[in-house]
Amino acid sequence: MSGSRLFYILCLLCGILALSNCDQVKYPYGERIYLRQCADCHMDNAEGLSSLYPSLKTESIESLISEMPCIIRYGTQDSTELIKMLPMPKMSEVEIANVMNYIVQDLNGLNQEIKLTQVKEMIQNCTNKK
Ligand code: HEC
């Protein structure tokens, strides 16, 4: 094989690798949690279902960040909506941080990392505890 052909093949391979990297999610663990624990209601693509299940792919995602840990842990029992979100008391803070980063960064394209310490702090200050 001539040198230039080898070079050409290498370039092609690198290109394919670079392209496939684009598809990769930053938080695969968060994605797994999302698909297992959230997608049933909020849908795989996070676009929700009519007015029953709110979309999590939304311009207001930033304003939802601070309430998300409390909503996941304690649900929305005090809301006036017909269908409320049930609490998920077994989901750990690490899992909450991962699923939040997947939603915020991978699904909504925001460049904002949610740290575990922030999640812990938010949970300590939840006002919807039962
Ligand atoms: C069994 C269905 C169900 C599952 C599973 C579920 N949710 Fe929800 N979620 C809802 C419903 C219904 C609401 C609206 C509740 C309300 O407003 O009282 C909601 C509301 C929310 C909200 C607030 C949205 C807004 O615009 O105010 C967030 C954030 C959210 N869910 C995140 C999650 C995450 C993250 C998961 C997975 C860890 C999850 N949900 C799993 C049903 C579900």
Query: Can you name the CATH fold of 26-124?
Result: Cytochrome Bc1 Complex; Chain D, domain 2 (1.10.760)
Residue whose CA is closest, atom 15 of ligand 1?
84
Tokens at 56, concatenated = 């999590």
**19-41: per-residue pLDDT in tens?**
665 668 999 999 999 999 999 99
Q: Give residues (CB < 6 A) around ligand 1.
A: 37-38, 40-42, 53-54, 56, 64, 68, 71-72, 76, 79, 81, 83-86, 99
At 1, the pLDDT band (50, 70, 90 cuts) reads low
Domain boundaries, the chain: 26-124
Report the alpha-carbon distance of residue 38 to residue 107 in Å, rounded: 13
Instruction: For residue 19, give both structure tokens.
Output: 């392209």
pTM as predicted: 0.87
Give the per-residue pLDDT at 20.
64
CA dist., res. 105 & res. 31, Å (int): 11
> What tens digit of pLDDT does each residue of 67-119 get?
999 999 999 988 999 899 999 999 999 999 999 999 999 999 999 999 999 99
Does the pLDDT value for residue 15 go beyond 80? no
